[in-house]
Amino acid sequence: MTYDEIYQDVQKRLSEYRFTHSIGVAKKAKELAKIYGVDEEVAEKVGIAHDLAKELSDTEMLNYANSNNIEIDEIEKQQPDLLHGKIAADIAKKEYGFNEDMQNAIKWHTTGRANMSKLEKIIYIADKTEENRKGDRFDLEKSRELSKQDLDKTIIFLIDEFIIYGIKNERIIHPCSVSARNYLLFTKNHK
């Protein structure tokens, strides 16, 4: 499918607020793809589609996951909104023809994971640093600047910030985020 076709389909599924975020992610993903030598069109398509299941209810997410044989971990059972990436990846495969790398970039855009591809890193970062993003969970400007210099350092910075925020607010920290951080630190220290 073309970017415009995906754009129109995603626009029908999301609220204006969430769709504006998705446009921002697509734009940031394309920008980062250009810097890091990843196919810009692919990054843009994944960026616009990454949250297409975000506004499903918890019940809808659990039902979709169960009926489509999507693995659910214990944390996702407690926080079904974390399933939106896995569900969006499944929909993107079935409806848009996304390949495995594109699906993984959507699947892991919330938590990250060990050994992410460049596209996965780009979507993870774009989701958290796009121009419409606001909030006080982490230093947005620092993460935006860092994203133009080093994908791995940006991911470590973002995960560190989310872990600190999670601890302060008694939130569960998904083990995949910890694995992503540890993997990047381990490989950085063993190059």
Tokens of 127: 């989701």
CATH number at residue 139: 1.10.3210.10
The total of structural domains in the chain comes to 1
How high is the pLDDT of residue 25? 98
| Contact (CB, 8 A) for 106 and 98 | yes
∠105-157-56 over CA atoms, to 5°? 40
pLDDT in tens, 141-150: 999 999 999 9
Determine the structural domain holding residue 31 and report its residue range: 3-189
How high is the pLDDT of residue 191? 59
Stretch 156-167: mean pLDDT: 94
Q: How far apart are CA 12 and CA 7, in angstroms?
A: 9
C-alpha separations of 66 from 79, 105, 111, 117 in Å: 15, 21, 21, 27
pLDDT in tens, 61-82: 999 999 999 999 999 999 999 9
pLDDT beyond 70 at 190: no
Tokens of 117: 């591809």
Among 11-15, 16-20, 170-174, the range scoring the smallest mean pLDDT is 170-174
How high is the pLDDT of residue 57? 97
pLDDT in tens, 88-146: 999 999 999 999 999 999 999 999 999 999 999 999 999 999 999 887 677 889 999 99
How high is the pLDDT of residue 139? 85
pLDDT in tens, 34-54: 999 999 999 999 999 999 999
